[in-house]
Structure 1
Amino acid sequence: MRRVLIVDDHVLTRMGMVHFVRHCFGNLEIEEADTAQAALTLAREKEFHLIVLDIDLPDRSGLDILPDLRRACPKTAVLFVTGLVQEDVALHGLKNGACGFVEKGSSPDEIKRALTAAFNGQRYISSGMRERLAFHAIEPEDNSPLDKLSEREFQVLRQLGQGHTLTEIGQNLSLSVKTISTYRQRLLEKLGLRTTADLVRYAVQKGLVK
């Protein structure tokens, strides 16, 4: 029996997705998680065919835990079903192993197509995002500076955008303040910015935070 993990911190949204997946695909074993940590714990304990993942979670973002999920269950498809995201963010997720992105506001038919593609080991990008991503693909010189960031730098940038201090980020990522400060300096250099406030504004403008 196929097993699916649905990760979303909004109870009604999660319940709706559970019902929708059962309606579309019949008898499945479905697990639920409302935090990133709960999702990681389940992914390490059980084998899933598909993980349906939101970006905005209360403890860590879906983008932050994507590499951890890929390491924990490399054969599992990870499909983002989330709010509106900028193409830079979607590209980052795809390059780090997501099989697709679809907005929560998409039609039921499109969400079903995305889920079907994920079950079949295929990629799926929602119709509203395909054209923008195609433009990025044919204009490599205009690629986002986000493409230059390492996994850890991306995590630090997101947390700065969420208003966390260097000390808090260090605690969240189990790293020293000195190490986080080094990542902050690398971010300033790679993104051509000057201050932490600039990094916060950049993260917000790029849609990396709510």
Structure 2
Amino acid sequence: MIQIALADDHAIVRAGLRHILSKEVDLRVIAEAENGREAQMLAGREDLDVVVLDLSIEDYCGVDVLRALRLRRPGLPVLMVGQTPETHCAITLLRLGARGYLGRGCEVAEIARAIRTVHRGRRYVTPAVADQLASRAGDEALCPPHDQLSDREFQVFLQLARGTTIGRLADHLALSVKTVSTYRSRVMGKLGLSSNSELTYYALKNGLMQ
């Protein structure tokens, strides 16, 4: 039996997923989280096998929750779900430690298949994403600029793109304002941008922000 946690701030979405998964004999939902804080606490559940995480969960960016789960329990598979089509941000999320990514428009059967796949220790990718990965392996020039960012730089990038101030971000990450400003400068340089509004536009254009 694969034991699952659902982390999504919409109760109706959790209820729908719970109903879908209840029809599978080998899948069981044993925990739920309705915001980012609760989702991060799932790392303490030793009985969990897979976390299904909403990319735009309330309180925290889903990327922040993913990073926290990776730090606290590296072996726990996390399957991300979001509004953006898989080909837009799946590769970035895989690089950050997710085991797979599904757009909300996926077929019902695909959800169960993806959970089983990540539980076996494999990455779940759609054919379109697999094609992208193959193309990038053969031609690094096809990689978008944000693939050059480190995990921390990507985290800072997304928060700034969402309008978070440097001071608030420094408090959230337990870093100094100077350190966050340094990360911001690195992000701007790697992406070739000059303002936070350009960061926001870039994130939206590349499907990195819900």
For 1:123 and 1:11, the matched residues in 2 are separated by: 27
Q: Who is 2:63 aligned against?
A: 63
For 2:3 and 2:78, the matched residues in 1 are separated by: 13
Check if 1:119 corresponds to 2:145: no
TM value normalised by structure 1: 0.89
Task: Give the aligned residue type for 1:3.
Answer: Q
Q: Who is 1:200 aligned against?
A: 200
For 2:26 and 2:11, the matched residues in 1 are separated by: 21
For 1:89 and 1:185, the matched residues in 2 are separated by: 23
Distance 1:89 1:101, change over 3 A: same
Q: Who is 2:15 aligned against?
A: 15
Deviations 1:131-170 (A, max 9, x none): 3444333332221111211111111111111112212222
Q: Who is 1:156 aligned against?
A: 156
Structure 1 stretch displaced more, 85-94 or 199-208: 85-94
For 2:171 and 2:206, the matched residues in 1 are separated by: 25
Q: Who is 1:37 aligned against?
A: 37
Structure 2 unmatched ranges of 5 or more: none
Deviations 1:52-95 (A, max 9, x none): 11100112122222222122222221111222246462112112
| Alignment of structure 1 residues 1-210 onto 2, 5 Å | 2-26=2-26, 28-85=28-85, 87=87, 89-210=89-210
For 2:112 and 2:27, the matched residues in 1 are separated by: 15
Deviations 1:103-125 (A, max 9, x none): 12111122222122122222211
For 1:111 and 1:14, the matched residues in 2 are separated by: 13
For 1:27 and 1:94, the matched residues in 2 are separated by: 23
Task: Give the aligned residue type for 1:190.
Answer: K
For 1:133 and 1:62, the matched residues in 2 are separated by: 22
For 1:88 and 1:187, the matched residues in 2 are separated by: 19
Structure 1 unmatched ranges of 5 or more: none
Moved over 6 A (4+): none
Sequence identity percentage = 36
1:102 to partner: Cα distance: 1.5
Q: CA RMSD in A?
A: 2.1
Distance 1:3 1:178, change over 3 A: same
Does the CA contact (< 8 Å) of 1:103 and 1:126 recur in 2? Answer: no
